[in-house]
Amino acid sequence: MTQRFSVRGKRILITGASSGFGAHFARALAEEGADLVLAARRVDKLEDTAKAVREQGRDAIVVPMDVSDHASVEAAFGCMPALDVVVNNAGVSREGPTENIAESEWDRVIDTNLKGVWAVSKFAIQQWQRDERPGSIVNIASILGLR
């Protein structure tokens, strides 16, 4: 197959990198030659992902970040190296009939899956503008978005 693009030597931020798809994306992108900034709430799990990335010979920086907390995202970007790509992967869901979901549970979904993507994208764009460099944003959704 002809390679359409390369991430070799790019620094990529992955939110929700502590488990699931985020951890998988980290390993796959490291295999393709990317260096990673791994962000999530569960720092201990991030360290496991970082170890797997480093075993592939790539750089991995662990950054505590709760995408649902604007101040947490801002603080993380305050100590983050220059990025080439952002993968907005962090997400939560609440299953069950709409009439059984509490407003606080719905707020958590919106704060993580919608406002979190906005906040991470906002600070990444500000970083790229400040540094006068290009960047790319990849937003991940699950099949739950079709429910």
Q: What is the CATH number of the domain that holds 44?
A: 3.40.50.720
pLDDT of residue 48: 96
In a domain, 4, yes or no: no
In a domain, 5, yes or no: no
In a domain, 106, yes or no: yes
pLDDT of residue 1: 59
CA-based radius of gyration for the chain: 16
Count of CB atoms situated within 10 Å of the CB of 53: 26
Number of domains in the chain: 1
Mean pLDDT of successive 10-residue stretches along the chain, which has 147 residues: 83 96 96 97 95 97 97 97 97 88 93 96 98 96 72
* DSSP assignment string, the chain: -------TT-EEEEETTTSHHHHHHHHHHHHTT-EEEEEES-HHHHHHHHHHHHHTT--EEEEE--TT-HHHHHHHHHTPPP-SEEEE-------S-GGGS-HHHHHHHHIIIIIHHHHHHHHHHHHHHHHT---EEEE---GGGG-
In a domain, 17, yes or no: yes
In a domain, 105, yes or no: yes
- Parent domain of 111: 11-146
